Amino acid sequence: MDVRPGYFDEMYGDGSALRAPYRQYEEWFAREDPRRLLKKSADAEALFRRTGITFNVYGSEEGDERLIPFDIVPRIIAAREWARLERGIEQRVRAINAFLHDIYHRQEILRAGRIPKEVIADNDAFLPEMIGFTPPGGVYTHIVGIDLVRTDDNDFYVLEDNARTPSGVSYMLENRETMLQMFPELFTRSRVRPVSEYPRDLRSSLAATAPVRTSGRPLVAVLTPGIHNSAYFEHAFLADQMGAELVEGHDLSVVDGRIAMRTTEGPEPIDVLYRRVDDDYLDPLTFNPSSLLGVPGVMDVYRSGGITIANAPGTGIADDKAVYSYMPEIIDFYTGEKPLLQNVPTWRCSEPDSLAYVLDHLSELVVKEVHGSGGYGMLVGPAASKREISRFTRKLKASPANYIAQPTLALSTVPILTRNGLAPRHVDLRPFALVSPNTIRITPGGLTRVAMKRGSLVVNSSQGGGTKDTWVMED
């Protein structure tokens, strides 16, 4: 396999030698018939279609559900590499929760001048309704997805924090299940850490944050916007795997100061609501009055201690990209430690000097909306046309505070299977952390997203990216 010059390949390093985590896999791969592997790849795609592992792309002309491409060559991470990532993720997640508690209470970090007040006060993701309120167990971000990129053997960077409603864990689980079905022999020869306990750990973690008034085993429900949501497959999958109820807003109502689910035997109170509905649509009596997706009155019940909402409303401020640029200060302020995982260098376009630099170097940078997600609303300078750069220049000048900019990183590559053999493609990694009052559990691995197009740096499924199984080795 050719290794692209200037990029670190996780299987072959700089191209001179096979890296240790991949040795057993490469021995197996070298003995395999390429035609059999291509057949297995087609079988995996057929399995995904039968299982219904699809997503909707908003604004697509077809309006059809699409299959996320799955590549059968695993991404393999050594135990020592994972141990380092695990420590960094845990540090970051603890700091995020401390930050959220602080900005909705005493705001010490603002008083200390470590973050400008306007970054919080002028941010739509900051919810005044959460001021002075502490969620059950003191947990704001019950589920966190930390997006990581790698640039060298020892260099990992956090690309962004997903603290509102991080998605993708169902693909992590289905990718592993598919690999177990397709290549059971690989798992008998390689000591790969399992990910199958995630649903059980998720339920346990959510139950541990149930309100004080809960009696007996907490009733957990997953609140979905419905079948037309792009991540509906994941909502249904997780509810089924956890043994939780899958509900929509019209299934719920306020009964005797609790949120109750309509059943054939009458209303049944819910203790923990794992919501996959954005803040603005969560409660039409508190937020967007035209919302048909949420539950009228749920915020009043929440603030009175009648239910746990995961993740807590208002957590979106922690994954805002302007706030992201202050994460090194946030980690230092709340932990007294230097970050174990570094941020990508970031220019805040709200600052005149930074804006001037970004405008002069647009063709070299990646520019993102501070509230953006899914790869939408961004400019990848090196891949942009002169017309696109000109259009983005006007956007930046009109609303500079809406954007941040970052250098174009030399993202690591991993091999994918093609008809011509193995070929390198760029990847990122989204590990998932589960937070309960006394524990942070980090699933060994996470979701590897891969840019299926040669040379592309955009890995989002909505932009044509695919996924891989992620192996963390036992030792």
- Condensed to tens digits (0 to 9), the pLDDT of residues 51-108 reads 767 655 444 444 456 678 899 999 999 999 999 999 999 999 999 999 999 999 999 9
Query: Residue 47, Cβ neighbours under 10 Å: how many?
Result: 16
pLDDT of 190 reads 87
pLDDT at 455: 82
Residues sharing a CB contact under 8 Å with residue 155, sequence separation 6 or more, in sequence order:
none
No. of helices (H) and no. of strands (E), the chain: 14, 23
The string of pLDDT tens digits covering residues 394-409 is 999 999 999 999 998 8
Q: Which residue has the tokens 């909707």?
A: 56
380: its two tokens: 């990848």
> What is the reported pLDDT for 394?
94
3-state secondary structure of 125: coil
Q: Is the preceding omega at residue 438 within 30 degrees of 0, hence cis? A: no
Q: Under DSSP, is residue 314 helix (H, G, I), strand (E, B) or coil?
A: coil
What CATH architecture applies to the domain 347-407? Answer: 2-Layer Sandwich (3.30)
- In 3D space, the residue among 465, 462, 464 whose CA is nearest the CA of residue 372 turns out to be 462
Q: Kindly report the number of other CB atoms within 10 A of residue 190's CB atom.
A: 17
Condensed to tens digits (0 to 9), the pLDDT of residues 221-230 reads 999 999 988 8
Q: What is the pTM of this model?
A: 0.93
Q: What is the secondary structure of 320-380 as a DSSP string?
A: -HHHHTTHHHHHHHHHSS--SSEEPP-EETTSHHHHHHHHHTGGGEEEEETT--TTTT-EE
pLDDT number for residue 62:
44
What per-residue confidence (pLDDT) applies to 15? Answer: 75
pLDDT of residue 67: 77
Distance from C-alpha of 179 to C-alpha of 188, rounded to nearest angstrom: 12
User: Which DSSP letter does residue 122 get?
Assistant: T
Residues 6+ apart with CB under 8 A from 261: 219, 221, 245, 247, 251, 252, 267, 268, 269, 270
Where the chain has pLDDT below 70, the residues are: 1-5, 52, 54-66, 372-376, 462
Alpha-carbon gap, residue 455 to 396, rounded angstroms: 27
In our burial notation (b when 16+ CB lie closer than 10 A, e otherwise), range 392-405 reads beebbeeebbbbbb
Is 472 exposed, middle or buried (CB count within 10 Å of its CB: 0-12, 13-18, 19+)?
Answer: buried
The pLDDT of residue 377 is 73
According to DSSP, the residues that pair with 426 across neighbouring strands are 413
Q: Hey, how many other C-beta atoms are within 10 angstroms of the C-beta on 422? A: 18
- Specify the DSSP class assigned to residue 194: P
Instruction: List the domain boundaries for the chain.
Output: 20-211+307-343+409-472, 347-407
Check residue 59 and give its pLDDT.
47
442: helix, strand or coil: strand
